[in-house]
Structure 1
Amino acid sequence: MPSHAAFRSTRFALGLVAALALAACGGGGGDDEDHAHEDHDIDTAGRLAIAENGSPTLRLHDLDSANVVASFTLANSPSAVYASPGGRYALALQRTQDTTQIVDGGIWQEDHGDHDHDYKQDPRLLALRVDGPQPTHYDDRAGQAALFMDGRAATAQNASALLLTDASIGAGQVAATLPLTAPMHGFAEPNGEHLVTSALVAGATAPTQVEIYRRQGSAYSVVQRLDALCPGMHGSYTQAQTTIAGCSDGALLVRPAAGGNFAATRVTTPSGISTIAGHPALARFVGIGNSGTPSTTRFYDIDPATDAATAIAIAGWGEGRLRRAHGFDRTGRTLFVLDDQGTLYALQREAGAWTTRVTVPGAVPSMPAAAPFPAFAANGARDEVYLSDPNGRQLLVLDTGQLQIKQRVALGFTPSYLAWLGIAR
């Protein structure tokens, strides 16, 4: 591990390069300007935001220097930590306290017209706080993200959705807001200029339908409510204009139709789906849900091109095994799944089917019996995935090219949530 002195030297050098490059952007021309533009790229692995369990502390680990470069005391212990759509900011949701705080990770990229300009600075806690009753689901799609507030029935606070972008966060505001008419545990999925949200049937306490809204500046106008029912609606993802939601008997696929409207298609599965895994580079979805006695996690490949679902058989996944964490690598080629015994599985889709490429028993030697369970975060600039080990108070670094654990990093505290921040390559 580099010394603190070595880190300070590295940070100073990077800051100096950025300063010189910024000066070059302001004037000059010819060969000098072209040469200066070559220095706008920063070779950085990014930073990892790690929340400490039961504590308001959020640490920023610099993956280039292997040092904690900043530690922030939030108002409350986070209920989740997510990266902003552009990867610059960490959003620390505090569900029961009705607020979300935001940390600038200090690494970002700007489009300067004839070149992209990279920056690396010290992290900082923003003054901007996003308030609302019970912020819960966060869905990041194609440069914009929706934060869904469940609302609270006991105090007659309705659900709502907020649209966020890196630009809006940098300007100290949300990009758009959508107030809903009832409290519900639901979702909002950005789908181009539209927002697909969960919706309640009159008199129901849980959502079973979806509504479509079109953005108009900083607000939304309703387009339609779809008649199709999705009992037990939970979990969602959007890829290539298809939004999918999990149902107790399968999934609901929602996509644009003629005349500016949307249409829904039902896909049935032998057991329910409550989590949807997806990746922008993967033209299909993975539905995940528990069923049976003993309760067992089941996996389904869902193809939006054929509206068909096929069971995924993970080699060695027996009855009674439960998923505790999952995540794709940056390319969307490999899906990692961790079970309740600490065994790690690496799945890849080959020859039209998902194949279990690697199994690592004891990847997490001592699995927690209750939350916080291990969490995944994929590096967008390197072929690495990170997996927290709460009981081991450590971080596992997975090489996604070799499909193996290449390092275990002692943290000195119990980690709960992870988010990778940086410039995706």
Structure 2
Amino acid sequence: MRTSFHWGGLTLAVALALTACGGGGGDDGDERDEGATLDTAGRLAISEDAATSLRIYDLDSGSVVSNFALANSPSAVYASPGRRYALAFQRAQDTVQVADGGVWQEDHGDHLHDYKEAPKMLAFRIDGPQPTHYDDRPGQASIYMDGRAPGVPSAALVFSDTDLAAGRFAASATFANAMHGFAEPNGNALVATYRATEASGPTQAEIWNRQGSQYTFVKRLETQCPGMHGSFTRANVTVAGCSDGVLVVSPQGANDFQARKITTATGVSTIAGHPDVPRFVGIGNSGTPSTTRFYDIDAATGTATPIAISGWTEGRLRRAHGFDRAGRYFFVLDDLGALHVLERSGSSWTTRKSIAASIPAMPAAAPFPAFATNEARDEVYLSDPGARQLVVVNTSSLEIARRANLDFRPSYLAWLGIAR
């Protein structure tokens, strides 16, 4: 069954049936009544390069326990805000499919109860024009639909794991124009991009306020952010990338936000952050040869400081990045296959270690290795499409713990499970 929602000319269709479908089932059985707390490392949702398969890899057994057939080859795979579901974006085909990873936690009032069951594919699906950006924050996330020019505007859906379990989204917003933008959930507000009709891309931020299941426009912030792309929100402060620095959007009161610019020597197009780290990392490419540059962004003081990675010479490009679960380390994979581990101390970052040949034979073209963080164990993961392996890095020893062989070329990764 499919229900359609019409917002200002935009139609997003959501299939509400929640029955399981698709191939594959778990071989670990159900553990619904085994106890309140489970000792589990969780699972990985892994897509196959140039194929429609989405595999659920159980980290406890070290094996694929489900193999689901998607409608199309995914353009990205993300974890839901509560880490129970995998979201398989299929941008070109205007759809997002949802898989239940089968590991989750419920609040039973006097205790938290853990569950581990066989994964399943949901019939629940979100259809809309070019789902692209995914902004995941504690407790809620948004899918940003780029829309299509002319005539099909961009839109955003905001939801929690509870919403996905019920086959719904919590709230939505429809914007004036199609654009490659973002919409950051920020408390009861939404920080979204704005593109002027004559502009090729977004250059300003707008504030929207949630009223029930809809967001209504509040104000457009005047500060310009040319080349606006990439964002992250922490503690109600949203930072977005600009071609001349970053834009910092922060609350001043109920539904009142202000924006200010922090300039950088080169442009920023990606913002990395962690809930427990009171700073942001700005990332962007510049120069000849093109080289990835990194900046420590202090939104509180309005400063941006270049981050120097030991051995990062001109021409080096970032291929993957991410924090460990505690936010102590920031990992950067370069285009030669070396994994650089940065550690923050106060306002500075130092290169704690570089692991050469983490990916022994780096692909010359996409798909490049993807990065995922285990939030229940001290591990992070890299996909190695060429070697058909999953690379497991221990974040305590900062060593490669193992290379798990796969019988397919992995592309996108998402960790699913119970954060500890």
The code of the aligned residue for 2:109 comes to G
Q: Which residue pairs with 1:408 in the alignment?
A: 403
CA distance, structure 1, for counterparts of residue 33 and residue 335 of structure 2: 48
Change (3 A) 1:258 1:107: closer
Displacement after TM superposition at 1:259 (Å): 5.6
Change (3 A) 1:166 1:258: closer
The code of the aligned residue for 2:331 comes to F
Of 290, 293, 302, the residue aligned with 2:288 is 293
CA deviations 1:227-255 (Å, max 9, x no partner) are: 11000000000001100100000000001
Q: Which residue pairs with 1:176 in the alignment?
A: 171
CA deviations 1:322-372 (Å, max 9, x no partner) are: 001001111111100000111110001025310100111111011111111
Q: Which residue pairs with 1:328 in the alignment?
A: 323
Displacement after TM superposition at 1:130 (Å): 0.4
Change (3 A) 1:351 1:280: closer
Secondary structure of the structure 2 residue equivalent to 1:167: helix
Q: Does 1:347 align with 2:358?
A: no
Q: Which residue pairs with 1:111 in the alignment?
A: 107
Q: Which residue pairs with 1:48 in the alignment?
A: 44
Of 47, 52, 60, the residue aligned with 2:56 is 60
Q: Does 1:211 align with 2:206?
A: yes
Q: Does 1:227 align with 2:222?
A: yes
Structure 2 spans left out of the alignment, 5+ residues: 1-25
CA distance, structure 2, for counterparts of residue 292 and residue 181 of structure 1: 34
Task: Map 1:227-246 to 2 at 5 A.
Answer: 227-246=222-241
CA distance, structure 1, for counterparts of residue 326 and residue 198 of structure 2: 43
**Count of matched residue pairs:** 395
Q: Which residue pairs with 2:360 in the alignment?
A: 365
Instruction: Return 170-179 or 97-106, whichever deviates more.
Output: 170-179
CA deviations 1:89-124 (Å, max 9, x no partner) are: 000000000000000000110111110011111000
CA distance, structure 1, for counterparts of residue 231 and residue 189 of structure 2: 15
Q: Which residue pairs with 2:391 in the alignment?
A: 396
- Structure showing greater radius of gyration is 1
CA distance, structure 2, for counterparts of residue 55 and residue 269 of structure 1: 40
CA distance, structure 1, for counterparts of residue 108 and residue 36 of structure 2: 10
> Does structure 1 conserve the Cα–Cα contact (< 8 Å) formed by 2:189 and 2:255?
no
Displacement after TM superposition at 1:391 (Å): 1.0
Q: Does 1:190 align with 2:185?
A: yes
Q: Does 1:317 align with 2:312?
A: yes
Secondary structure of the structure 2 residue equivalent to 1:246: strand
Displacement after TM superposition at 1:392 (Å): 1.1
Instruction: Return 254-263 or 281-290, whichever deviates more.
Output: 254-263
Of 80, 88, 94, the residue aligned with 2:90 is 94
Displacement after TM superposition at 1:202 (Å): 3.5
CA distance, structure 2, for counterparts of residue 19 and residue 406 of structure 1: 32
Q: Which residue pairs with 2:33 in the alignment?
A: 19
Secondary structure of the structure 1 residue equivalent to 2:33: helix
CA distance, structure 2, for counterparts of residue 74 and residue 214 of structure 1: 35
CA distance, structure 1, for counterparts of residue 256 and residue 300 of structure 2: 19
Cα RMSD for the two superposed structures? 1.2
Q: Which residue pairs with 2:148 in the alignment?
A: 152
Displacement after TM superposition at 1:201 (Å): 2.1
CA distance, structure 2, for counterparts of residue 351 and residue 263 of structure 1: 26
Displacement after TM superposition at 1:205 (Å): 2.2
Q: Which residue pairs with 2:133 in the alignment?
A: 137
CA distance, structure 2, for counterparts of residue 245 and residue 269 of structure 1: 13
CA distance, structure 2, for counterparts of residue 150 and residue 205 of structure 1: 13
> Does structure 1 conserve the Cα–Cα contact (< 8 Å) formed by 2:242 and 2:269?
yes
CA distance, structure 2, for counterparts of residue 408 and residue 211 of structure 1: 45
The code of the aligned residue for 1:19 comes to D
The code of the aligned residue for 2:257 comes to F
Of 231, 256, 259, the residue aligned with 1:261 is 256
Secondary structure of the structure 2 residue equivalent to 1:177: strand
Change (3 A) 1:180 1:410: same
> Does structure 1 conserve the Cα–Cα contact (< 8 Å) formed by 2:74 and 2:90?
yes
Change (3 A) 1:380 1:417: same
CA distance, structure 2, for counterparts of residue 153 and residue 202 of structure 1: 11
Secondary structure of the structure 2 residue equivalent to 1:168: helix
> Does structure 1 conserve the Cα–Cα contact (< 8 Å) formed by 2:177 and 2:197?
no
The code of the aligned residue for 2:317 comes to L
Q: Which residue pairs with 2:74 in the alignment?
A: 78
Q: Does 1:162 align with 2:157?
A: yes
The code of the aligned residue for 2:352 comes to R
Displacement after TM superposition at 1:157 (Å): 1.2
Secondary structure of the structure 2 residue equivalent to 1:283: coil
Bigger helix fraction: 1
CA deviations 1:310-331 (Å, max 9, x no partner) are: 0000000000000010011111
Displacement after TM superposition at 1:19 (Å): 2.4
Structure 1 spans left out of the alignment, 5+ residues: 1-6, 21-38
The code of the aligned residue for 1:393 comes to R
The code of the aligned residue for 2:363 comes to P
Bigger strand fraction: 2
Secondary structure of the structure 2 residue equivalent to 1:145: strand
CA distance, structure 1, for counterparts of residue 367 and residue 253 of structure 2: 45
TM-score, normalised by the number of residues in structure 2:
0.92
Moved over 2 A (4+): none
Q: Which residue pairs with 1:122 in the alignment?
A: 118
Secondary structure of the structure 2 residue equivalent to 1:125: strand
